Every structure is written in structure tokens, then in C-alpha cells.
A and B are shown apart, each in its own frame.
Chain A
Amino acid sequence: EPEVTQTPSHQVTQMGQEVILRCVPISNHLYFYWYRQILGQKVEFLVSFYNNEISEKSEIFDDQFSVERPDGSNFTLKIRSTKLEDSAMYFCASRGPGPLGRTIYFGEGSWLTVV
């Protein structure tokens, strides 16, 4: 079964450093998402991306965050200057085209620890 893949699986970074989390969505999917889950809390929406631009973002997704689809396969989340409260599991997700592609599939997640 096709799957969403994410790298790295775990990253430890110092506060103030930039991090880039990478995702390879399922190949024929057109809608891409980033969600995060702080330890012990619910999964939260960050941003959705379609047709090479952000279609929606949450209040969490401030100027420190950016997303990019630099080529035909990768979808990245960049955090410019990490804060302690950015420590969380970051999930990439993708969805196919049309009404039959409504199921959203999640990657295994990238666990970010900011120290």
C-alpha cells in the first residue's frame, strides 16, 4: 500500500536553530497537510497546501513556519527559529484528487525535541 514517508524520524535541536522536516506524500495525491501533536495533547492542524500554495493555515502557523514543495515529490516544513514549545510530533498527510480521494493518509511523524 502506498504511504506517506517522513524524515527525520527524530531530531533534537537547540532553541533558535532552524529545522526542516521532510515529507514525501503519496505520488498521485494533490493535497498536503502538516499537523502536530504535542506530547499528551490532541493532533492539531497547522497548514494545508494545494496547487503550490498554502490554502489554509491555523493560528499556530505563524511567521516562524513555512512550507514548500521544492520539486515534484517532496513537501517540507521549515521552522525558522525553534522555540521550546515547538517540541512535538509533526505529521505530514496527503489526500488524493476528487471525491474518491477524500481519505487523508498520515506519515509516521517526525519527533522534534527543542532543547
Chain B
Amino acid sequence: EDKVVQSPLSLVVHEGDTVTLNCSYEVTNFRSLLWYKQEKKAPTFLFMLTSSGIEKKSGRLSSILDKKELFSILNITATQTGDSAIYLCAVEARSNFGNEKLTFGTGTRLTIIP
């Protein structure tokens, strides 16, 4: 069974701090790893990672994948209150039937204190 484990489960920091969120996985037939931000409802897409060691960056957010050690990190620098959300890591894998589906971690609940 595919597994995705995120840590920490919850994180509270002050505005301006830098945070690192972790995601480790065990899946068969890995295709990609995705990070989503979930505020009130829908997970909104942040990054898709397919190759090891290549950092993806969007503003204050960045992410990198290590396919050898089977983990990814999501960094947020100079955090703002608007970054408060649940950050979901999901791994896309190809099943035995040749189809692709996402397996999600439980998420990291990030709270930014003004």
C-alpha cells in the first residue's frame, strides 16, 4: 500500500520566520510528488516535482525532491499570516492497472502568528 507521511503535523511560528515542511513516501511506480495548500476548501496546486535535486520556486515558496531518499521538503521564507493553511503532500503513482492516482499525506497545519 502506498504511504505518504508528513511532518510535523502542526507548526506555529511568528510572522517573518522560515519554515520547512517534510514529506516522505513509499510508493510503487512513482510518477510525481505534488504540494497543495488547503485553506478553507479545495487544495490549491503549488508544485509538481518529478526529478531529484531540481528546486522549484514560486515567490517565497520553494520545494525539492530526493528520489533516492524518498522525500521532499517545502520551504516558506519570510512567512506571512496569509501562509496559514494546511499544506498537503501527495504522490502520484501508477497502479498495477496502469492508472495514476494521488495518495495524500495527512497534511501539516501551519499557523503564522502576527
Contacts and interface: CB of A to CB of B under 8 A. Distances in A.
Give the interface size bracket for A toward B: 20 to 34
Interface residues of B, number: 25
B106 A104 contact: no
Q: Is the interface of B mostly helix, strand, loop or mixed?
A: strand
Contacts of A33: 101-102
B42 A102 contact: no
Nearest to A89: B41
Contacts of A103: 34, 45, 48
A107 B92 CA distance: 18
Q: Is the interface of A mostly helix, strand, loop or mixed?
A: strand
A92 to B, nearest CB: 9
Nearest to B107: A42
A43 interface: yes
Interface of B: 31-32, 34, 36, 41-45, 48, 50, 88, 90, 92, 95, 97, 99-107
Interface of A: 31, 33, 35, 41-45, 48, 50, 55-56, 89, 91, 102-109
Given A43-B88, A91-B42, 5 more contacts: A35-B104, A45-B102, A56-B95, A104-B45, A108-B41
